[in-house]
């Protein structure tokens, strides 16, 4: 085991793992952004109870939050794989199917999952804005778009920060699941490394440490942001 | 129709595995979590440190990594390979999944229970102390019932996360709902239909769990329901039982 680590260093696995970690962070960030956009739209719909749409949103959040992430990933991946490969090969980019396609589907799948959780966070934050603030803005004759920009959005974002922190942490951890459909992110890289060097313990331990670093660093970042927002609010 | 006849019995077979995995890991995880929460609130510095690191490590890494470490990784360590009991646990996919799930949910449970235990008013604990209750009795009669009341809604969410977590057992050869669903998807190509049936099973399990948690909650909060109905209850008659 002692020279297991040497082997890993010599064979350039450290670089591969760091590349994998970069892919993990990229998938995480992109799906988080996609999820937040979904969350803000769906959260607003749910909060304002826009009739037929709110039913759809209710269905979406309760299905995605109640069904295992893995199953959602299988659905999105298997249902699209044939179609997309056909289209890509028809256009003569068969090689692209390997790398780009898995990444796009991963972002869509994780974004959809993250979006369902974001929706609930945003809805909760919206619900905790005192209705008097909105009524007062309306009484002043502010147009709806400006009420949203000046009154609703700033308060909502501040209240939502701890919830968004939670969603981000689960989103990062969920990206590990797309490894099962072949995207070469951190988990997949460790899997390949574990199989080719026969040192699964070291590789998965390294993966765990890298995930831990990502979550701890982002936790510290969010803590700092919360402190900043609290200071601003007090003034 | 044919598809339903083919898929439903197979997925139902998986349902039992999912339910068993959930039940066993929740039973183990809850007790471990309670222990960790108590360590965290104790005055022993090492116990506090251990519980804190444990919960950060298990909550900061994906469950999939934990499952892979247990299933693929630990077999590499000769200390474990040579120990009959540990090897028995590690060598089988479902036992491994239970181990990982239980340790994982213990971390989340400890945070939830810690919150509940911290919300118990200090005055009540002091009153119990003044009555001469022993530490164990105090915990059993005063602190735990009040804490669990506070923590139950959050714990209900955690239970759903465990149900969803069992799906990862399919990555280490355990055939539960998701494992069977994946196999059926690649056999029949009826991807959406299989997803719908499997998803429905998960939703039903979650719904049942939510209903169970609600009824436990109602049972624990029956004093409030009685108060709301206006039935005279001797206030603070001291019968906090569980």
Q: Got the DSSP string for A78-138?
A: HHHHHHHHHHHHHTT-TTHIIIIIHHHHHHHHHHHHHHHHHHHHHHHHHHTS-HHHHHHHH
CA–CA dist B211, B205 (Å, integer): 10
CB pairs under 8 A between A and B: 123
Side-chain half-sphere exposure of A211, counting CA atoms within 13 A: 32
- Share above pLDDT 90 across residues of chain B, in percent, rounded to a whole number: 73
Contacts of B198 in chain A (CB under 8 A): 67, 71
Question: Over 50: is that where the pLDDT of B242 sits?
Answer: no
Q: Which of A67, A75, A124, A213 to mutate to test the interface with B (most CBs of B within 10 A)?
A: A67
Q: What residue of B is the nearest CA neighbor of A171?
A: B62
Question: Over 60: is that where the pLDDT of B166 sits?
Answer: yes
Q: What is the pLDDT of residue B113?
A: 96
Give the pLDDT confidence of A71-119 residue by residue, as tens digits: 999 998 888 877 777 777 777 666 655 667 788 889 999 999 999 999 9
Token pair for B108: 């989340």
Question: Over 90: is that where the pLDDT of B162 sits?
Answer: yes
Q: What residue of A is the nearest CA neighbor of B206?
A: A66
Q: What angle do CA A158, A161, A166 make, to 5 degrees?
A: 165
Output the CA–CA distances (angstroms, integers) from residue B59 to A208, B22, B64, B104, B173, in the order listed.
11, 18, 12, 7, 24
Q: What is the pLDDT of residue A88?
A: 73
Q: Which CATH number goes with the domain that contains A108?
A: 1.10.3720.10
In a domain, B239, yes or no: no
CB atoms within 10 A of CB B53: 10
Q: What is the pLDDT of residue B83?
A: 80
Token pair for A96: 């692209």
**Residue B186 sits at the chain A interface (C-beta within 8 Å):** yes
Contacts of B181 in chain A (CB under 8 A): 71, 74
CA–CA dist B185, B47 (Å, integer): 47
**Residue B34 sits at the chain A interface (C-beta within 8 Å):** no
Tell me the mean pLDDT in the region B12-18. 93
CB contact under 8 A, A75 and B191: yes
A63, A70, A208: residue with CB nearest B170: A70
CB contact under 8 A, A63 and B171: no
Give the pLDDT confidence of B112-154 residue by residue, as tens digits: 999 999 999 999 999 999 999 999 999 999 999 999 999 999 9
**Residue A204 sits at the chain B interface (C-beta within 8 Å):** yes
Question: Over 80: is that where the pLDDT of B60 sits?
Answer: yes
Band of pLDDT at residue A223, cut at 50, 70 and 90 = very high
Band of pLDDT at residue A235, cut at 50, 70 and 90 = low
Give the pLDDT confidence of A15-55 residue by residue, as tens digits: 889 999 999 999 999 999 999 999 999 999 999 888 889 99
Band of pLDDT at residue A4, cut at 50, 70 and 90 = low
Q: What is the pLDDT of residue B44?
A: 92
CB B13 within 8 Å of CB B180: yes
Contacts of A200 in chain B (CB under 8 A): 68, 72-73, 75-76
Q: Which domain holds residue A229?
A: 2-234
Q: What angle do CA B137, B138, B143 make, to 5 degrees?
A: 125
Give the pLDDT confidence of B86-97 residue by residue, as tens digits: 888 888 889 999
- ipTM value: 0.87
CB contact under 8 A, A70 and B185: no
In a domain, B180, yes or no: yes
In a domain, B235, yes or no: no
Number of structural domains in chain B = 1
CB A177 within 8 Å of CB B26: no
Angle between helices B191-220 and B2-41 (to 10 degrees): 40
| Average confidence score pLDDT of chain B | 89
- Residue A144 distance to chain B (closest CA, Å): 36
In a domain, B232, yes or no: no
In a domain, B69, yes or no: yes
| Average confidence score pLDDT of chain A | 87
Q: What is the pLDDT of residue A154?
A: 87
Give the pLDDT confidence of B68-79 residue by residue, as tens digits: 999 998 888 877
Spatial neighbors of A111 by CB under 8 A, at least 6 apart, are: A30, A31, A32, A33, A34, A35, A38
3-state helix, strand, coil in chain B (%, to 5): 85, 0, 15
CB atoms within 10 A of CB A163: 17
Spatial neighbors of B48 by CB under 8 A, at least 6 apart, are: B39, B40, B42
Which one is predicted more confidently, A121 or A93? A121
Nearest residue to A208 (alpha-carbon basis) of B65, B73, B64, B53: B65
CB atoms within 10 A of CB A91: 9
Q: Residue A124 phi/psi, 5° resolution? A: -60, -40
Nearest residue to B96 (alpha-carbon basis) of B78, B69, B71: B71
CB contact under 8 A, A74 and B72: no
Q: What is the pLDDT of residue A127?
A: 92
Q: Token match 């680590």: residue?
A: A5
Question: Over 90: is that where the pLDDT of A10 sits?
Answer: no
Contacts of A203 in chain B (CB under 8 A): 73
In a domain, B145, yes or no: yes
Question: Over 80: is that where the pLDDT of A6 sits?
Answer: no
Q: Which of B62, B79, B197 to mutate to test the interface with A (most CBs of A within 10 A)?
A: B62
CB contact under 8 A, A208 and B66: yes
Interface subset of B 96-155, CB within 8 angstroms of A: none
- Residue B28 distance to chain A (closest CA, Å): 21
CB contact under 8 A, A177 and B64: yes
Q: What is the pLDDT of residue B195?
A: 93
Q: Which domain holds residue B76?
A: 2-226
**Residue A77 sits at the chain B interface (C-beta within 8 Å):** no
Number of structural domains in chain A = 1
CB A125 within 8 Å of CB A156: yes
Tell me the mean pLDDT in the region A142-166. 90
A65, A205, A215: residue with CB nearest B69: A205
CA–CA dist A43, A125 (Å, integer): 9
Give the helix ranges, DSSP H, for chain A.
2-10, 13-48, 51-66, 69-90, 96, 102-127, 131-139, 144-146, 153-174, 186-197, 200-234
Give the pLDDT confidence of B201-231 residue by residue, as tens digits: 999 999 999 999 999 999 988 888 777 766 5
Output the CA–CA distances (angstroms, integers) from residue B182 to A37, A82, A183, A210, B63, in the order listed.
30, 16, 18, 29, 19
CB A70 within 8 Å of CB B170: yes
Q: What is the pLDDT of residue A234?
A: 61
CB contact under 8 A, A70 and B75: no
CB A21 within 8 Å of CB A186: yes
CB contact under 8 A, B72 and A200: yes
Interface subset of B 56-75, CB within 8 angstroms of A: 56-57, 59-66, 68-69, 72-75
Spatial neighbors of B117 by CB under 8 A, at least 6 apart, are: B37, B38, B41, B143, B147
Residue B83 φ/ψ region, left for φ over 0, alpha for ψ in the -120 to 50 degree band, beta for the rest: beta
Q: What is the pLDDT of residue A77?
A: 87
Tell me the mean pLDDT in the region A144-162. 89
- Share above pLDDT 70 across residues of chain A, in percent, rounded to a whole number: 91
CB B218 within 8 Å of CB B211: no
Which one is predicted more confidently, B23 or A233? B23
Band of pLDDT at residue B240, cut at 50, 70 and 90 = very low
Contacts of B206 in chain A (CB under 8 A): 66
CB contact under 8 A, B203 and A205: no
**Residue B160 sits at the chain A interface (C-beta within 8 Å):** yes
CB B220 within 8 Å of CB B145: yes
Q: What residue of B is the nearest CA neighbor of A168?
A: B60
């Amino acid at each position: 085991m002692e020279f297991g680590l040497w082997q890993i260093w010599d064979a350039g696995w450290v670089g591969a793992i760091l590349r994998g970690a970069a892919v993990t962070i990229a998938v995480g960030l992109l799906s988080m952004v996609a999820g937040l956009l979904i969350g803000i739209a769906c959260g607003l719909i749910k909060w304002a109870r826009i009739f037929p749409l709110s039913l759809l949103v209710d269905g979406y959040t309760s299905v995605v939050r109640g069904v295992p992430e893995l199953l959602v990933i299988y659905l999105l991946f298997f249902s699209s794989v044939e179609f997309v490969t056909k289209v890509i090969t028809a256009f003569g980019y068969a090689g692209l199917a390997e790398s780009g396609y898995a990444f796009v589907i991963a972002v869509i799948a994780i974004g959809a999952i993250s979006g369902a959780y974001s929706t609930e966070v945003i809805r909760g934050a919206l619900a905790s804005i005192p209705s008097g603030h909105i009524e007062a803005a309306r009484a002043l004759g502010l147009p709806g778009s400006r009420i949203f920009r000046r009154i609703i959005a700033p308060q909502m974002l501040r209240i939502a920060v701890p919830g968004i922190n939670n969603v981000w942490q689960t989103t990062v951890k969920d990206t590990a699941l797309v490894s099962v459909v072949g995207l070469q992110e951190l988990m997949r890289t460790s899997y390949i490394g574990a199989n080719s060097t026969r040192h699964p313990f070291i590789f998965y331990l390294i993966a765990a440490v890298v995930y831990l670093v990502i979550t701890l660093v982002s936790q510290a970042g969010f803590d700092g942001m919360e402190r900043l927002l609290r200071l601003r609010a007090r003034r | 129709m044919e598809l339903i006849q083919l898929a439903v019995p197979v997925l139902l077979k998986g349902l039992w595995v999912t339910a068993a995995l959930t039940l066993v890991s929740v039973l183990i995880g809850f007790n471990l979590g309670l222990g960790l929460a108590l360590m965290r609130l104790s005055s022993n510095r090492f116990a506090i440190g251990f519980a804190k690191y444990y919960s950060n490590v298990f909550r900061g890494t994906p469950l999939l990594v934990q499952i892979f470490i247990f299933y693929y990784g630990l077999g590499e360590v000769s200390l474990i390979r040579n120990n009959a009991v540990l090897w028995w646990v590690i060598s089988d996919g479902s036992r491994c999944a239970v181990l990982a799930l239980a340790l994982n949910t213990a971390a989340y449970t400890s945070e939830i229970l810690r919150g509940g235990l911290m919300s118990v008013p200090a005055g009540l604990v002091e009153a119990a102390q003044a009555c001469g209750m022993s530490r164990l009795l105090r915990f059993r009669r005063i602190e735990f019932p009040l804490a669990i009341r506070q923590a139950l809604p959050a714990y209900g969410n955690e239970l759903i996360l465990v149900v969803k977590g069992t799906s990862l057992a399919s990555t280490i050869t355990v055939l539960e709902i998701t494992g069977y669903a994946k196999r059926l998807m690649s056999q029949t190509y009826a991807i959406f239909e299989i997803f719908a049936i499997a998803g429905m099973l998960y939703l039903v399990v979650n719904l049942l769990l939510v209903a169970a948690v609600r009824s436990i909650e109602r049972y624990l909060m029956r004093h409030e329901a009685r108060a709301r109905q206006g039935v005279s209850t001797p206030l603070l008659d001291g019968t906090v039982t569980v």
